[in-house]
Structure formats: structure tokens, C-alpha cells
């Protein structure tokens, strides 16, 4: 299996975890706090769309998903350093960890290192076409496809801003009002929508950092079981972000 196929396998596993396909029971919401006049659903919407666009267009960035549900906790960490205009990969780290173990893909000096649960460690040189393909296909927007789909026009039109306290906005979705425009019959959007409609409640906690930019989103899905999906936006940069690489001596 070549490097791009291994990378694709990792992506499939990651996306299967992040898909919003179920709901859980019990859940929590933050409470209290007056909402400032300058914080509204419209400003929250603008902040979310702005930060998604920023990360999708960034050549250097870092983010992390933490998913908790009845199957346990899954984390996915990403650091990416791309050439200008996504013409290739300078360096990269993608690590997914769950109860089964850890899968990781590192790219350094045009070599891809893949570790599948510490059972198979491989390395393979990647050519320019593969490097460009990875940069184009496996950025922030690919891994965050479902959260991006969730925060659409209908979501904010059907949402209420419940509180704003300590730079955290809590909004709740009116599930009965929630609908989507899916004329193109996007399968991922359909799966996400059907999963949301099964929920008893959906709340989202959004944290602003000191620069008034969204730095954390936590989606709480409440139904027969509980699921939370947290997206930590750890920063973008104009220059390479340092990656701590493991010892590649055992990779063959």
C-alpha cells in the first residue's frame, strides 16, 4: 500500500469518527450571564464562518478534535505546513487516538512515515504530484467537513443565543425549525441532518480568544446517549509551525 493510500485510510477513519450520525442522552450546558449588546447570533455566525475560512486558506496551521460518546474518547491532532498555494507539503503531523490505539502520519523532507497501532511502521518517499495532492486534499476543510456543513444558514436561523459568559457563547438549536437546502443531494449533509433530527437537544459552546476570534467549538448532542464534538483551533501562522517528530529509526 503506497503512502497516499495509507493517508487516505487514515482520513477515512478520522471522518467516520467526526460524522454527526447519532445523539446521546444526558448532556450539559453552560448557564447564566447577560448577553452583551454587541454579541448576537449574527455576530457569532460571522465569527464562525470567518475562522473556518481562515483555517481553510492557511498554509500553516494546527487544530485538534476531541470526540466523546458511548464508544469512548477519540482525539485527532493536526499540524500542517504547506507550500504557497498548496503546491506541496513541507511537513505534516496527523495523529488519531482512540481505545484501539494510535494511527499517525508524519511527513518530513518528502518522506511519509505511517504508524498503524505500533504494528506496522513504514516510510516512503513522496513525489511532487503526491505532495501536491496531499496539500490540496487533506487540509483543514477536508477534516472539518461535517462541522462546516453543520454551521449553515439554516442552523443559525434556527438557533438561539442563550448566554455569553467569560468569552463563551452558548447557543441552542430549535430542532423542529431546523431544515436544510440539499438540492445537490450531498450524502454527508443528509447523514448530518438525519443525525441532528434524532437529537433531543443540540447546544454549542463557542469560545473567543483574546483577539476576539473563535478558538474553540464544543457541540453537545443529547438523545439516548451523549456525544460531544470539540474542535480546538490552535492557531495559524505565516511561517512553519514546529512539529515534534518521533524517532523514525524503526520505520521501514
Which CATH number covers residue 53? 2.50.20
If one counts the domains in the chain, the total is 1
Spell out a b/e string for 135-168, using b for 16 or more CB atoms within 10 Å of the CB, else e: beebbbeebbbbbbbbbbebbbebbebbbbeeee
Residue 144 lies in a domain: yes
Average model confidence (pLDDT) across the chain: 86
Of 3-7, 47-51, 189-193, 217-221, give the lowest mean pLDDT range.
Answer: 3-7
Range of the domain at 192: 3-236
- Is 245 contained in some domain? no
Tell me the pLDDT tens digit for each residue of 52-89. Answer: 999 999 999 999 999 998 889 999 999 999 999 899 99
Contact between 243 and 226 (Cβ < 8 Å): no
252 part of a folded domain: no
Residue 243 located in a structural domain? no
CA distance 215 to 206: 8
Residue 16 neighbours by CB under 8 Å, 6+ apart: none
Residue 248 domain-assigned? Answer: no
Which has the minimum average pLDDT: 2-6, 41-45, 81-85?
2-6
Residue 128 maps to a domain: yes
Q: Specify the pTM.
A: 0.89
* 15 band by pLDDT with thresholds 50, 70 and 90: low
pLDDT over 70 percentage in the chain: 85
Among 96, 103, 105, which residue's Cα sits nearest to residue 74? 96
High-pLDDT (> 90) share of the chain, %: 58
Amino acid at each position: 500500500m503506497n503512502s497516499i493510500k495509507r493517508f487516505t485510510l487514515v482520513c477515512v477513519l478520522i471522518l467516520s469518527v467526526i460524522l454527526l450520525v447519532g445523539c446521546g442522552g444526558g448532556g450539559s450546558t453552560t448557564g447564566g450571564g447577560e448577553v452583551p449588546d454587541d454579541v448576537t447570533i449574527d455576530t457569532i455566525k460571522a465569527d464562525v464562518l470567518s475562522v473556518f475560512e481562515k483555517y481553510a486558506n492557511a498554509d500553516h496551521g494546527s487544530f485538534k478534535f476531541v470526540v466523546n460518546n458511548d464508544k469512548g474518547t477519540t482525539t485527532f491532532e493536526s499540524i500542517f505546513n504547506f507550500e504557497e498555494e498548496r503546491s506541496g507539503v513541507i511537513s505534516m503531523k496527523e495523529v488519531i487516538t482512540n481505545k484501539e490505539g494510535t494511527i499517525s502520519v508524519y511527513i518530513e523532507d518528502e518522506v511519509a512515515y505511517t504508524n498503524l497501532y505500533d504494528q506496522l511502521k513504514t516510510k516512503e518517499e513522496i513525489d511532487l504530484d503526491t505532495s501536491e495532492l496531499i496539500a490540496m486534499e487533506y487540509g483543514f476543510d477536508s477534516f472539518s467537513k461535517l462541522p462546516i456543513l453543520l454551521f449553515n444558514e439554516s442552523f443559525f436561523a434556527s438557533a438561539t443565543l442563550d448566554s455569553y459568559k467569560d468569552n463563551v457563547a452558548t447557543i441552542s438549536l430549535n430542532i423542529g425549525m431546523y431544515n436544510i437546502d440539499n438540492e445537490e443531494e450531498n450524502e454527508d449533509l443528509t447523514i448530518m441532518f438525519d443525525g441532528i433530527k434524532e437529537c433531543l437537544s443540540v447546544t454549542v459552546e463557542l469560545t473567543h480568544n483574546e483577539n476576539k476570534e473563535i478558538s474553540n467549538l464544543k457541540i453537545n448532542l443529547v438523545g439516548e446517549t451523549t456525544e460531544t464534538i470539540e474542535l480546538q483551533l490552535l492557531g495559524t501562522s505565516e511561517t512553519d509551525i514546529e512539529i515534534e517528530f518521533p524517532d523514525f529509526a524503526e520505520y521501514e
